[in-house]
Chain A
Amino acid sequence: MHRIEVVEGKCIGAGNCVDVAEDYFDQGDDALVIVLKEQVPEGDVAEVERAVKACPVAALRLLGA
């Protein structure tokens, strides 16, 4: 299992992560990122990795291998 971590204070509300992986990320009314599911099973790692990479300010990390 991999785990999603948010780096506090960096999110600028781009929504790029939500655009790529709607099952894992959402945004609150303040547009800041909300992680819907922290744990990422092997099958979804590629998708979540793309979402993490799509963030323009590296506010997201995918931990553990």
Chain B
Amino acid sequence: MTERAADSTPGPVVVIGAGKAGFETAIALRASGWNDRIVLVGDEDALPYERPPLSKDFLAGKMERDDVLIDGAVRLPQLEIEFHRATSVERLDLESKEVVLSTGESIRYSHVVLATGARPRRLTVPGADLEGVVHLRTLADAEVLKTTAETTESLVVIGGGYVGLEVAAHAASLGVRVRVLEGMSRLLNRSALPETSEHALRHHRAVGIEVNLDVRISELVSDHDGRVRGVLTEDGTLFEAETVLCAIGIEPCAELAERAGLAVANGIQVDESLRTSAPHVWAIGDCASFPVPYLRQHARLESVQNAVEQARFVASAIVSGQPGVYRAVPWVASKQGALTVQAAGLTGNHDSRVVYGDPDSGGFSTLAFDGETLVGIDAINSPRHFLAARRVLTQELNGTPSGLTLERARSSDFRLEDFGRRRDPEVVSG
């Protein structure tokens, strides 16, 4: 029997983790005609939900618990997807092709999809676990943070990344005194271009958020009741706060994979088809480290786009038995009060940048090039720039030159919106 035929052998597919990636895998499997059992196991006590609103409209009280559920979450029984709620997978046995659940049940699989996501990184300094120190990843976290933000007078956010800045902007809008402490020399250090960081810094300071860069934290200090009272830095400064949000990034949940003997290094390692080092075991979403075309190396991406597109790719690979190569233009958007940043592509390897539009107008973009080729854009309050650049990036990824070169972008009559247009709508509409 050929490998291909073996790959599409029916039998239960077990999806581990019921976040965005896991849920979309289960749905896509059913939608593309997988007739056998689909088992979705999630250790949170909730139906699958969207995380982006947790730092935005849910926090702002504009959405309730039920509103953040992923569309279709309540239809799992109708789709005959067996959903195990508040249940974790304790063991993955590659030899016997079995997963063992926390309920004691064990299930033999034909395929396993690891979609275990990530958890917040924790500070390792003294006081990191004091009462009043919060994190934000789950709906349960968001419920705590929401109540806290409404009652606290002062908040220190440790970490100037997307999640930290979104929460900071929300809290500031409630009248909370907010300070952001960032360990690097700029905000959004990991995810954005320097021009974006610079603009974000000015924006957040202008709305009254205090920001300190290059901060080394030595301790979280408590009052006599054991509640956090402030953050002490290595140079001896004490930033007082009733509440501290620790938002210093996430680490992949890879223990299960590691115990099973799969290759793990900053996430579960997969190949260009999102297959792990074991047959019939796949990994996707925040937990998976895959070969990214733009970076010419393995990386983990943390976005809804990545979770959804990888989920659909793997579902189709399982159903068809023909894996193919996963390729997609990554993008992410972040709404921080009145500031919206949209990023597409990946800029880790860029060697030149071109600023497009006028930063002082509040809306502008920065284009990043690797040689003559566009590799990414950060668009600030400029969705049209973002869309045009994303189309260019998609064309380039598919091997169609777009004509947008570094030289072109530097010319005085350059208009980004002229590129990446869908050609001749009349012709395409057929």
Chain A residues with a Cβ under 8 A of chain B: 7-10, 12-15, 18-19, 27-32, 56-58
Contacting residues, chain B, for A12 (C-beta < 8 A): 52, 304, 333
Kindly list the 8 A-B residue pairs having the minimum CB-CB distance in the complex, ordered from nearest: A58-B71, A9-B57, A13-B333, A27-B383, A29-B381, A9-B63, A31-B383, A56-B308
A13 touches B53 (CB 8 A): no
B383 touches A13 (CB 8 A): yes
B56 touches A31 (CB 8 A): no
Contacts A9-B58, A9-B67; A57 near B50 (Cβ below 8 A): yes
Within B45-72, the residues touching A (CB, 8 Å) are 50, 52-53, 56-58, 62-63, 67-68, 70-72
A15 touches B386 (CB 8 A): yes
- What is the number of residues of chain B that contact chain A, defined by CB distance less than 8 Å? 32
Q: Is the interface of B mostly helix, strand, loop or mixed?
A: mixed
Q: With the chains together, A8 CA to B391 CA distance in Å?
A: 26
Contacting residues, chain B, for A10 (C-beta < 8 A): 50, 53
Q: Which of B80-88, B132-140, B335-343, B369-377 contacts A (4 or more CB under 8 A)?
A: B335-343
Chain B residues with a Cβ under 8 A of chain A: 50, 52-53, 56-58, 62-63, 67-68, 70-72, 304-305, 308, 331, 333, 335, 338, 340, 342, 362-363, 381-384, 386-387, 390-391
Q: Quote the shortest CB–CB distance from A50 to chain B (angstroms).
A: 12
B333 touches A58 (CB 8 A): no
Contacting residues, chain A, for B70 (C-beta < 8 A): 57-58
Q: With the chains together, A18 CA to B335 CA distance in Å?
A: 18
Contacting residues, chain A, for B382 (C-beta < 8 A): 29
Which B residue's beta carbon lies closest to that of A59? B71
Q: Quote the shortest CB–CB distance from B16 to chain A (angstroms).
A: 21
